[in-house]
Homo-oligomer: A and B are copies of this chain.
Amino acid sequence: MIGKQRWAIADGYIPEESTGPEPELTSHDTVCILNAGDEEATVELEVFFTDREPVGPYEETVPANRTKHIRFNGLEDPEEIPKGTPFACVIESDVPVVCQQTRLDSRQAENALLSTIAHAGDS
């Protein structure tokens, strides 16, 4: 078993433009969740903004012994996350998981990447 039940990302951002073939090189911001345990994870994402109330929860399930790479651009319920807008995200799971953020920015002809393991809460 490895992981924590609460994670946070402070720098969320979906670049507005993209260059290159879709969907691989479409600009995206992603949270990748690993559930290395034997029970399905029910995961809730809450998204925070600069100047309005948080939106969520976005509900996801990650089956036992699986990983799920979730593009913030693909979230729709309760609402889409706007592009070109700073956000942040808290991830809560009912079982331990591991969270990592990765962004691909293809606004220019050649893409740029960033990634970091998210911040794990104590509990």
Residues of A within 8 A of B (CB): 1-3, 6-13, 16, 20, 24-25, 30, 32-34, 36, 46, 48-51, 53-54, 65-69, 84, 86-88, 90, 98-105, 107-121
Do the beta carbons of A10 and B103 come within 8 Å of each other? no
Kindly identify which residue among B8, B67, B116 contacts A115, using a CB–CB cutoff of 8 Å: B116
Q: List 17 A-B contacts (CB under 8 A).
A: A8-B34, A10-B32, A10-B34, A11-B32, A11-B115, A32-B88, A34-B88, A34-B90, A48-B67, A50-B67, A50-B69, A51-B66, A100-B119, A103-B115, A104-B112, A108-B111, A113-B114
Do the beta carbons of A49 and B67 come within 8 Å of each other? yes
5 nearest CB pairs, A to B: A67-B88, A11-B32, A10-B100, A114-B115, A110-B110
Using known A-B contacts A50-B68, A112-B111, A120-B119, determine if residue A11 contacts B88 with beta carbons closer than 8 Å: no
Q: How far is the CA of A109 from the CA of B105 in the complex (A)?
A: 14
Q: In the assembled complex, how far is the CB of residue A100 from the closest CB belonging to chain B, in whole angstroms? A: 4
